[in-house]
Amino acid sequence: MSLSRRQAMWAWAFLAVPVLFYGLIRFYPTAQAFWLSLTDWDLMSEAEFIGLANYQEMFADPVFWKVFVNTFLYLIIGTPISLVLSFIIAYYLDKTRLLHGFLRALYFVPYITTAAAMAWVWRWFYQPAPTGVINDILGSLGFAQVQFLKSTTWALPSILVTAVWAGLGFQIIIFVAGLRAIPTTYYEAARIDGLGEGAILRRITLPLLKPTMVFLVVFSSIGFLRIFDQVYNMTSNDPGGPLNSTKPLVLLIYQTAFSSYEMGYAAAQTVVLFTILLIVSLLQLWVMRDRA
């Protein structure tokens, strides 16, 4: 047998199980989700083809639009805040030698904790006084109590704080890696040219960090678009409440499919999520196009 035939034989032997897996567990279900989104199906009777009726119903549903807006609120508030915070921390952390690893660990630990557990800790923090730490501090400073998780104004930002907090450590580590990757000769040359720290930051550090920033913007956007664990656990007595004010798309999908058993309708909602995530990923490719 020729070498290339032997190679091909081994390659397909190695790939047999994985190809089967990706076909059955990734590609077939994707096609099925698209198909189901065109059907009316409650798991009990046969799925009935209804064309685009699910999409018509969804786009006419005020709850869907409320959820859609919520999902983008998580994204457009959360991403810039976490990006700016993590950059500032990473910038100074990178310059720090004294107990660098220890400081880094303090920021990084929240990232590896279980979101479900931490959601309950934050939920406790947000309780009214005398139980909740935050209201207790507000009270001792003479401020009024805030019903963080029961207020339609405050509930979403309160959950967002938890999500930003949980993801910050990851972003810091990525920024530090990006800063380390900038050759020190660039900085030396800039200092010889008499540039100050601010000018170096603007003209060298930030432009060279562009790939890192694009990656983090996309990574963090996808994270916020898929937010679920925190919302589910922090509002579990009324998931996504009060009055749907915290409900993100993934929670709506979960409820439509597994509380109401409207499988076709839920599939249509997942197609919307898929489309949004695809657009975000394509934007990333477009922004990075000149680096290929």
Partner 1 sequence: MSEGGHWMHRVDPGAVLRWTLLFLGGLIMIAPLLYMFSSSLKPGSDIYDLRLIPQTVTLDNYRAVLSDGRFMRWFLNSTFIAVCVTLSTVFFDSLVGYTLAKFRFRGRQLVFIAILSTLMIPTEMLVIPWYLLSAQFGWIDSYWGIMFPGMMTGFGTFLMKQFFETVPDDFLEAARIDGLNEFQIWWRVAMPLVTPALSALAIFAFLGNWTAFFWPLIVTTSQELYTLPIGLSSFAVEQAIRWEMIMTGAALATIPTLIVFLLLQRYIVRGVMLAGLKG
Q: Residue 88 CB, nearest distance to partner 1 (Å)?
A: 9
Give the Cα separation of 157 and 149 in Å (integer): 9
Applying the rule CB under 8 A, the residues between 38 and 97 that interact with partner 1 are: 43, 89, 92-93, 95-97
Residue 34 or 154 with smaller CB distance to partner 1: 34
Applying the rule CB under 8 A, the residues between 186 and 215 that interact with partner 1 are: 212, 215
Q: Residue 106 CB, nearest distance to partner 1 (Å)?
A: 3
Residue 11 or 206 with smaller CB distance to partner 1: 11
Q: Residue 81 CB, nearest distance to partner 1 (Å)?
A: 14
Applying the rule CB under 8 A, the residues between 135 and 174 that interact with partner 1 are: 136, 165, 168-170, 173-174
- 118 interacts with partner 1 by CB under 8 A: yes
**The one among 64, 74, 87, 107 contacting partner 1 by CB under 8 A:** 107
**The one among 58, 83, 115, 179 contacting partner 1 by CB under 8 A:** 115
Output phi, psi for 48, to 5 deg. -115, 130
Applying the rule CB under 8 A, the residues between 216 and 275 that interact with partner 1 are: 219, 226, 228-229, 232-233, 236-237, 250, 253-254, 257-258, 263, 266-267, 270-271, 273-274
Residues listed for the chain: 292
Q: Residue 281 CB, nearest distance to partner 1 (Å)?
A: 6
**The one among 64, 68, 74, 125 contacting partner 1 by CB under 8 A:** 125
Size of the site for partner 1 (CB under 8 A): 91
Q: Residue 69 CB, nearest distance to partner 1 (Å)?
A: 18
